[in-house]
Structure 1
Amino acid sequence: MKKENIPNALTLVRIALIPVFILVLTLGHSLTAHLIAALIFAFASVTDYLDGYLARKWQVVTNFGKFADPMADKLLVMSAFIMLIELKMAPAWIVAVIICRELAVTGLRLLLVETGGTVLAAAMPGKIKTFTQMFAIIFLLLHWTLLGQILLYTALIFTIYSGYDYFKGSAYLFKDTFK
């Protein structure tokens, strides 16, 4: 495989791991199944970092990667949070806030590109949000409940704050909305 294709291949691996992750949690209700799911999720999360790092390092950023990488991240995290609701490891209201924010920011990004070609890059609060979400999921699956809950509520705070921050910075798009 050419090195140009490795970042995109990692993204595809992450997407392919989502149904495996869900299947493990659906079929297995033991601590072992949760451990395996946590390892799958952790591996998939590492591919998120690695594909972006390699694409930038090798200067092989592609349109597929620009689309699929953030989509894979959202699909992975949202699937995990929904499964955590099913397992009674995360409150549905927190997951609803997280998913709504993700959809709203994704819509904002599309609007920004459509109206002026502006790409809304991830700011530090958004990166902290992603980091805390991923670690909250891993620790909750490992049954490290206290640490997982602390990270989950931290993720919630950064989810809300980063969403607010993105919309505040893009408020000019909506200035004529209620005239």
Structure 2
Amino acid sequence: MNLPNKLTVFRIILIPIFILILTIPYDWATITTMTVVLPVNWLMAAIVFAVASATDFLDGKIARSQQLVTNFGKFADPLADKLLVITALIFLTSFHVVPAWMTAVIVIRELAITGLRTLIVENNGQVLAAQMPGKIKTFSQMFAIFFLYIKNIPFIYFGFPVGDILLWIAVIFTIYSGIDYFWQNRYVFSDGM
């Protein structure tokens, strides 16, 4: 297994650690700065999330620069992203930070694209690689989630809810990229219609 694929597997392994950290009762320890109360386990989860997100950037960069792109990587890398983002959003929804409808839109799009990827592989043996709108969606989701877990520090002191703004951008690109993927790959459905 090459290094990019190892990084992808490592990202998947970080997900249960992320879950474990967030299942610790959040009121056991907090960091208070000015008007923000940040549970320690949220900060720890944000750090784990940031490390996992960094592996997403690194595995793709290494794979492209060293010609180590594999079908496993094309499949597992976006799957790892989806699992990480969906897990983080479910917890944020349970903490009443992210509206349930936003999480639902993102989860539905991710499941739909996963199904589309499967159809494309079955139809022509190719793996659907990420396009730019999907990359923007992933980038904005990951930064939004990170800032929401750290309660928008330091931007909150300037009245700038960066996490919320990035989440709206993520939702917009989630919808746009989902429509774009289906439109570009509509041939998959042409034989049954």
Query: Taking structure 2 as the reference length, what is the TM-score of the superposition?
Result: 0.84
Partner of 2:10: 13
For the Cα contact (< 8 Å) 2:93–2:100, is it kept in 1?
yes
SS of 2:96 mapped into structure 1:
coil
2:77 and 2:131 map into 1 onto residues whose CA distance is 16
CA 1:171/1:86 → structure 2, altered by over 3 Å: closer, same or farther? same
Shift of 1:151: 0.9
> Are 1:175 and 2:183 matched, yes or no?
no
The alignment status of 1:67 with 2:72, answered yes or no, reads no
Match of residue 150 from structure 1? 165
Deviations 1:19-56 (A, max 9, x none): 11111111041422111111110110000110121122
Identify the match of residue 55 of structure 1 among 63, 80, 101: 63
Cα deviation 1:111-147 (Å, max 9, x = unaligned): 1121123432211111110001001100100101721
Instruction: Show structure 1 runs of 4+ deviating over 6 A.
Output: none
Give 1:6-155 correspondences, 5 Å limit: 6-29=3-26, 30=30, 31=38, 32-144=40-152, 146-155=161-170
**Counterparts in 2 of 1:164 and 1:20: CA distance versus 1, 3 Å:** same
Query: Which stretches in structure 2 are left out of the alignment for 5+ residues?
Result: 31-37
The answer to which structure has the higher helix fraction is 1
* RMSD of aligned residue pairs (Cα, Å): 1.7
Cα distance change of structure 1 residues 173 and 66 upon mapping to structure 2, 3 Å threshold: closer
Aligned residue type for 2:50: A
SS for the counterpart of 2:179 is: helix
Q: Give the residue type in structure 2 aligned to 1:41.
A: F
The CA distance in 2 between the partners of 1:149 and 1:49, in whole Å, is: 22
Structure 1, gaps ≥5 residues long: none
Q: Using structure 1 for the length normalisation, give the TM-score.
A: 0.90
**One-letter amino acid matched to 1:107:** G
Give the 3-state SS of the residue equivalent to 1:59 in structure 2.
Answer: coil
The separation in 2 between residues aligned to 1:155 and 1:120, in whole angstroms, is 20
**How many residues are aligned here?**
175
CA deviation vs aligned residue, 1:2-29 (integer Å, no higher than 9, x gap): xx63222211211111111111111041
Amino acid at match of 2:111: L
